[in-house]
Amino acid sequence: MSEMVVGSEPAGQNGVMRILGKIATNFWLRRILKMLFITWIVISIIFFVVRLMPGSPTDVLVQELMVTRGLAYDEALNQAAQLIGIKLDEPIMNQYFNYMGNLLKGDLGKSYRNTTNTVVGMISERLPWTLFSVGISLIVSFIIGVTLGMIIAYRRNTWLDHLLTSLSAVLDAIPGYLTAILVFVLLGVVLKWVPISMMRGSRSPGIEPGLTWEFISDIFMHLAVPGLVYVLATVGNWMLRMKSNTLSTLGEDYVTVARARGLPDSQIITSYVGRNASLPVVTNLAISLGVLMGGSILIENIFTYQGIGLLLLSAVNSRDYPLMQGVFIVTTLAVIIANFLADLLYGWLDPRTRIPGGNQ
């Protein structure tokens, strides 16, 4: 009996170690577990951080009621407690575990200010606008940046190289919100090329959503200026990245061999240089989508574009915890999922990165 017990322990341990070994060597499973762990950490941090902000939802609403309705503090406090209907005096860990339990069911709760609508419903209304504006702008910016980056790499040390490299460095250094303010003032106030009404909102009042030319043309007109800001805020980075990658690739031996074989420059650019130089840039495209979504709050506020950035600003001002948490979770998940997809894309394009301890 003793031999069986003693012998069974190593067998069980070997089974566990075998499973852990498979996890450690499986590229896709490692990335999935890493993403889930980071997601749990981020959601937990968001939950506690929003509650550390000065002023609770009740305090903010009390101040509003006292100012707008001229109520006394006690009366305003009673009305605020009835309107919000929350138990902020409940122990913080109880709130956390209740929230995580509901989150596993896909329930982000209800807004403290808009109790007739769920947080999921409010985000669902605004998220498509942010995805539309950020997605279209990022694709345009990526195509322009990669193309110009490759051109200035081939024309290095010429006036075109110096001009575009300096321009891209300046654009990359200016924050997106400052670019938005400059574009708004320059195009709408100083030059008056674009009516202010066309620079505000995501669509014109009275136009019903649908697959009609009137609606499609209207949303693209309203996207033009915010989209220009997104492009200007990101195109410099793409140009600098692509220039650096192209210059590095041009020095590789296989490019020298291709030229020695007499291959035309067009084939070398597309089959050798462009494909390899754009590999790191393509994987950063997904990451940029997530980061740009998170940074849309200031740009959407300037143009009152009805995306999740503007929704988050409203939630922060009113200390609407469920709505704040919901928007923060969506934006951070966008970054986490984008990084995950970038890892998978890079692993698919370059199989060497799937090997533990390999080039990553």
| Domains of the chain and CATH, by start | 29-104 (no CATH), 128-354 (1.10.3720.10)
User: What pLDDT, on a 0 to 100 scale, did the predictor assign at position 331?
Assistant: 83
User: What pLDDT, on a 0 to 100 scale, did the predictor assign at position 77?
Assistant: 73
Enter the pTM of the model. 0.77
User: What pLDDT, on a 0 to 100 scale, did the predictor assign at position 82?
Assistant: 66
User: What pLDDT, on a 0 to 100 scale, did the predictor assign at position 360?
Assistant: 43
User: Crossing angle of helices 119-154/321-349, nearest 10°?
Assistant: 40
User: What pLDDT, on a 0 to 100 scale, did the predictor assign at position 359?
Assistant: 47
Distance CA 128, CA 328 (A): 16
- For 53, 113, 185, 197, 219, the CA distances from 304, given in Å and listed in that order, are 25, 20, 15, 11, 14
SS3 118: strand
Low-confidence ranges of the chain (pLDDT < 50): 1-7, 9, 358-360
At a CB cut-off of 8 Å and minimum separation 6, what does 26 contact? none
HSE-CB at 24 with a 13 A cutoff on CA atoms is 7
